Amino acid sequence: MSLIPNTATLLVTILTMAAIALVGINRSKSGAWTPTIRRLAGLDAIEEAVGRATEMGSPVHYSPGIGAATDDSAPQTFAGLEVLGYVTQLTAKYNTEIIVTIRQPNVFPLAQEIVRQGYMTAGRPDMFQEDTVQFLSNEQFAYAAGVMGIMNRRHVAANIMMGAFWAESLLFAEAGAQVGAIQVAGTAAMGQIPFFVAACDYTLIGEELYAAGAYLSQDRVKLGSIAAQDIVKGIAMVLIFVGSLLATAEIDFLANLLKK
């Protein structure tokens, strides 16, 4: 049996990545290896933001972005929802109200259950209210207008935004700045990062968002998975560097090998 032409390298790559990931996760779970993630100031500042809201007696606003759970922005959405669970437990610990605003219908039940579970984990199921998680609109700028209205009416003291954001990113950041909220944002949408950096107190850039859940929970499986991904990226960088040198020397061995 022969492979489909030009798929051997893809197959080897997938198997190698899977093997590295499995080894990394298993070693991390067994305690033989404890990966660490560098300090992320934006995530460390979340407790400070919730604490400030508690001191001021004002609510925390949280948005997991405007992406859906079924499109290409889903990884960012799920990363934002994972941070939501942590923030909910903090607000329960400090007895502070949280307002979660949702754009996508298929994200709403997920966010609602995450918030409910967060309160239960913190031992405060009584804090969950039906209007804690609010579906505003599936239209982008109608949702943006709703979020800005909530920020101004409720005078939120902390504005946390983690997920996929597009043209509304600066609108949210400016609305939060106008009410004097401490703002923590994170997105992998590269076109929106400059707006968050300019207008927010702390910003998670690109893949820092995907590492947020593991950083906050210190879950060994997640830490092992992230460390394994970094190893794979390192191997890819070495191949690119070696391939560049060989191509410069007009040696096409590696290029031909990768074409198989």
- Domain at 206, CATH number: 3.40.50.720
User: Is the separation of the CB atoms in 159 and 172 below 8 Å?
Assistant: yes
pLDDT of residue 25: 87
pLDDT of residue 2: 52
Predicted confidence (pLDDT) per residue in 73-100, tens digit: 999 999 999 999 999 999 999 999 999 9
User: What are the Cα distances from residue 7, in Å, to 2, 11, 62, 252, 259?
Assistant: 10, 6, 44, 19, 8
Q: Are residues 184 and 105 in the same domain?
A: yes
Q: Are residues 27 and 116 in the same domain?
A: no
Compute the distance between CA of residue 228 and CA of residue 217 in angstroms, rounded to an integer.
Answer: 18
pLDDT of residue 159: 98
Q: What are 209's two structure tokens?
A: 């968002």
Does residue 1 surpass a pLDDT of 60? no
Q: What percentage of the chain reaches a pLDDT higher than 90?
A: 71
Predicted confidence (pLDDT) per residue in 177-225, tens digit: 999 999 999 999 999 999 999 999 999 999 999 999 889 988 888 888 8
Q: What is the domain range of residue 119? A: 41-210
* Predicted TM-score of the model (pTM): 0.88
Within a domain: residue 2? Answer: no
Does residue 252 surpass a pLDDT of 90? no
Average pLDDT over residues 43-58: 96
Q: What are the contacts of 210-213 at 24+ separation with CB within 8 A?
A: 210/75, 210/76, 210/79, 211/37, 211/40, 212/40, 212/43, 212/79, 212/82, 212/83, 212/162, 212/186, 213/79, 213/82, 213/83, 213/86
Within a domain: residue 1? Answer: no
Average pLDDT over residues 93-111: 98
Does residue 46 surpass a pLDDT of 90? yes
Mean pLDDT score of the chain, rounded to an integer? 92
Q: Are residues 143 and 230 in the same domain?
A: no
Q: Are residues 30 and 52 in the same domain?
A: no
pLDDT of residue 3: 55
Buried b (16+ CB within 10 A) or exposed e, 173-190: bebbbebebbbbbbbbbe
Look at the chain and report how many structural domains it folds into.
2
Average pLDDT over residues 46-69: 97
Q: What are 194's two structure tokens?
A: 């400059």
Average pLDDT over residues 15-38: 86
Q: What are 166's two structure tokens?
A: 């597009």
Q: Are residues 51 and 27 in the same domain?
A: no
Q: What percentage of the chain reaches a pLDDT higher than 70?
A: 98
Q: Are residues 204 and 94 in the same domain?
A: yes
Of 24-28, 74-78, 120-124, 148-152, the range with the lowest mean pLDDT is: 24-28
Q: Are residues 69 and 90 in the same domain?
A: yes
Does residue 113 surpass a pLDDT of 80? yes
Q: Are residues 56 and 123 in the same domain?
A: yes
Average pLDDT over residues 102-129: 97
Compute the distance between CA of residue 114 and CA of residue 85 in angstroms, rounded to an integer.
Answer: 6
